[in-house]
Amino acid sequence: MRGARHAKWAAAAAAVALAATACGGGGSGGSSGEGVLSAWWGDPQNPLEPANTTEVQGGKVLDMVMRGLKRYNPKTGAAEDAVAEKIETTDAQNFTVKLKDWKFSNGEQVTAESFVNAWNYAANVKNKQKGAPFFGYIEGYDKVHPEKGDPTAETMSGLKVVDPKTFTVKLNQKFSTWPETLGYNAFAPLPKAFFDDRDAWLSKPVGNGPYTVDNYAKGSAMNLKKWEEYPGADKAQNNGVDLRVYTENTAAYNDLVAGNLDLLDDVPAAQIQNVKNDVNGRYASPAAGIIQTLAFPFYKPEWKTEGAAKVRKGISRAINRKQITESIFHNTRTPATDWTSPVLKEEGGYKAGLCGADCEYDAAEAKKLITEGGGIPGGQLKISYNADGGSHKDWVDAVCNSINNALGDNKACVGNPIGTFADFRSKVTKGEMDGPFRAGWQMDYPLIQNFLEPLYYTGSSSNDGQWSNKDFDKLMNEANAEVDTKKAVETYQKAEKVVADDMAAIPLWYQNGSVAYSDRVSNVALNPFSIPVYGEIKVN
């Protein structure tokens, strides 16, 4: 039995080894220092320049390290003055900006030049900032950012420094709510240190926010420290945040449950049904400014016809939103009844039920509409989505099953996974879709304009379906020029009704944020952009 003894030894060794891990594993949540919390993070896709960050993960850091003229109130979403003392206009086109007396964390003064230089840098096509189009309303943008070729100017003519605390902005069109957009990260100021040595700044960004970057290990972690001299009202309530990159949110979730992580703001879909038990109710799922829709390829003639509009309405009515949000998302999504988001509130332009019966489930009516409209173009509906990251497969399959059941044909609709996000986006932007495709929109700033113009205005940056409607465009122009906010919102809603009448995209559901946290921290909340309000978190 010598062989047997060997084997026993091996098995015992394995058991001992595993047990040893358990001992070594204890209390590593404490690798964070006193009053410091550890939080889940995804690896930002782009360098962390303010205007180069177009996704949430990079946005998290900028939200902690940078402060612009305005800041969105984490509860109400209202744009409130941060560095701005005041922003004045008389004609909705010329704005005068006065600054408060702020400093960057490296001691530099935040001046009018910090803003003007940062914005000129962001807009200049040579600097390849992905958020450059946000500066497109400023006069002279077309000179520094021509559609083709080299820029003919280095700076935008619409920006003028008056004195160290004042600058003026001239827009190329009337845009009454423009100051409200200035809470977006892309509009943050940059210190001289950035222009002196960009690489050094990128490896350790310096800003004027409530935190400073202590250490940044690209691709794996970032340690942020509270900046004691932060002049703003939203001082950090903890001593710092350790952001940790995880390969997958399921791993992060397990780490949270095991007590090795303090904060996770992307609870995996499959764990939503467990999360309340797993973390003893330390979980919240507040509304966020995100809407999921199905977009259609209007560049394909078969989707442009009168009948196709009926078919789209039929498809919309064949989707049992209520059941899908309950069974697949466990109520972390709410069935959509308009094309905006509840976080805008009614005075901001959200209008429940604007979609009317077209967004209500009715299998018989759905079948009738689709038949009247000439049936599904091509005979089979293929819903395209990206298969990497995000569990889109579950809901796409559920939507298809719902449509199939309504039509009584098990092959009427199938999911069409596309391997990578990049490939998906490149097919979408090149106009290579044959059928509907997943379209998600996370607002940049809490204005109804942001839910309509980028998505449905002719030729807009995110109008992936290339939908075009003269009435809609006209109404949008009118609304943008309107100085009275209430009237502007009403006009925007008229434009939204045009979208509804043609069912330019099928609204699916409003997405909530989701956040779970350990017993080490309290006062955890998400802002309307579904980013945790790190500064307010208290470490017990």
Partner 1 sequence: MPEPTSPKDDLAVSGAGAGGAMDLAVAEGTSLEQPPGSGKSDKARSLWSDAWHDLRRNPVFIVSGLIIAFLVFISLWPSAIASGDPLACDLAKAQQGSQPGHPFGFNGQGCDVYTRTVYGARASVTVGVCATLGVALLGSLLGGLAGFFGGWFDSLLSRITDVFFAIPVVLGGLVFLSVVPGTTVWPVIAFIVLLGWPQIARIARGSVITAKQNDYVQAARALGAGNSRMLLRHISPNAIAPVIVVATIALGTYIALEATLSYLGVGLRPPTVSWGIDISSASAYVRNAPHMLLWPAGALAITVLAFIMLGDAVRDALDPKLR
Partner 2 sequence: MGRYVIRRLLQMIPVFFGATLLIFLMVNVMGDPVAGLCGDRKCDPAVAAQLKKDFGLDQPVWQQYLTYLGNLFTGDFGRAFNGQKVTELMSTAFPVTFRLTLVAIVFEIVIGISLGVLTGLRRGRPIDTGFLLLTLIVISVPTFVTGLLLQLLLGVKWGWVKPAVSPAATFDELLLPGLVLASVSLAYVTRLTRTSVAENARADYVRTAVAKGLPRRRVISRHLLRNSLIPVVTFIGTDVGALMGGAIVTERIFNIHGVGYQLYQGIVRQSSQTVVGFVTILVLVYLVANLIVDLLYAVLDPRIRYA
Q: Copy the structure tokens of residue 149.
A: 């070729």
Out of 389, 458, 474, 490, name the contact with partner 2 by CB under 8 A: 389
Q: Which stretch binds partner 1 (CB under 8 A): 221-229, 289-297, 419-427, 428-436?
A: 419-427
Q: Which does 487 bind (CB under 5 to 8 A by kind): partner 1, partner 2, none?
A: none
Out of 248, 372, 484, 490, name the contact with partner 2 by CB under 8 A: 248
Out of 233, 258, 357, 483, name the contact with partner 2 by CB under 8 A: 258
Q: Is the dihedral of CA 116, 117, 121, 122 positive or negative?
A: negative
Q: Which does 393 bind (CB under 5 to 8 A by kind): partner 2, partner 1, none?
A: partner 1
What phi and psi values does residue 80 have, to the nearest 5 degrees? -120, 150
Q: Which stretch binds partner 2 (CB under 8 A): 121-129, 302-310, 408-416, 476-484?
A: 121-129
Q: Copy the structure tokens of residue 258.
A: 């095991």
Helix, strand, or coil (residue 334): strand
Out of 46, 96, 127, 250, name the contact with partner 1 by CB under 8 A: 250
Helix, strand, or coil (residue 294): strand
CB 183 within 8 A of CB 176: no
246 binding partner 2? (CB under 8 A): yes
In sequence order, which residues have a C-beta less than 8 Å from that of residue 80 and are 6 or more positions away?
A: 70, 71, 72, 73
Helix, strand, or coil (residue 266): coil
Q: Copy the structure tokens of residue 262.
A: 């303090």
133 binding partner 2? (CB under 8 A): yes
Task: Give bridge partners of residue 403 from the DSSP assignment.
Answer: none
Q: Which does 202 bind (CB under 5 to 8 A by kind): partner 2, partner 1, none?
A: partner 2
Interatomic CA distance for residues 467 and 130, integer angstroms: 23
**DSSP code of 513?**
P
**DSSP code of 342?**
G
Q: What is the closest distance, in whole angstroms, from the C-beta atom of residue 164 to partner 2 in the complex? A: 31
Q: Which stretch binds partner 1 (CB under 8 A): 72-80, 269-277, 295-303, 481-489?
A: 269-277
Q: Which stretch binds partner 2 (CB under 8 A): 176-184, 320-328, 416-424, 511-519?
A: 416-424
Q: Which does 401 bind (CB under 5 to 8 A by kind): partner 1, partner 2, none?
A: partner 1
At residue 146, what is the residue type?
P
Query: How many residues belong to the site for partner 2 (CB under 8 A)?
Result: 80
Alpha helices in 137-259 (DSSP H): 141-144, 192-196, 198-203, 249-257
In sequence order, which residues have a C-beta less than 8 Å from that of residue 184 and are 6 or more positions away?
A: 68, 134, 444, 445
Within 372-401, the residues that bind partner 1 by CB under 8 A are 387-388, 391, 393-394, 397-398, 400-401
Q: Which stretch binds partner 2 (CB under 8 A): 97-105, 130-138, 361-369, 524-532?
A: 130-138
404 binding partner 1? (CB under 8 A): yes
367 binding partner 1? (CB under 8 A): no
Q: What is the closest distance, in whole angstroms, from the C-beta atom of residue 143 to partner 2 in the complex? A: 12
254 binding partner 2? (CB under 8 A): yes
Q: Which stretch binds partner 2 (CB under 8 A): 171-179, 182-190, 218-226, 356-364?
A: 218-226
Q: Which does 394 bind (CB under 5 to 8 A by kind): partner 2, partner 1, none?
A: partner 1
Within 10-39, the residues that bind partner 2 by CB under 8 A are 10-11, 13-14, 17-22, 24-25, 28, 31
Interatomic CA distance for residues 250 and 262, integer angstroms: 15
Out of 145, 310, 321, 333, name the contact with partner 2 by CB under 8 A: 145
Alpha carbon separation from 386 to 76, 128, 146, 418, 440 (Å, rounded) = 33, 26, 32, 5, 12
Q: Which does 411 bind (CB under 5 to 8 A by kind): partner 2, partner 1, none?
A: partner 1
At residue 431, what is the residue type?
G
Helix, strand, or coil (residue 85): strand
Helix, strand, or coil (residue 163): strand
Interatomic CA distance for residues 181 and 139, integer angstroms: 16
325 binding partner 1? (CB under 8 A): no
In sequence order, which residues have a C-beta less than 8 Å from that of residue 487 and are 6 or more positions away?
A: none
207 binding partner 2? (CB under 8 A): no
Nearest to 125 by CA among 108, 109, 140, 107: 140
Out of 245, 284, 481, 533, name the contact with partner 2 by CB under 8 A: 245
Out of 41, 44, 361, 395, name the contact with partner 2 by CB under 8 A: 44
CB 472 within 8 A of CB 456: yes
410 binding partner 1? (CB under 8 A): yes
Q: Which residues bind partner 1 (CB under 8 A)?
A: 250, 268-271, 273-274, 320, 323-324, 327-328, 387-388, 391, 393-394, 397-398, 400-402, 404-405, 410-411, 414-420, 423
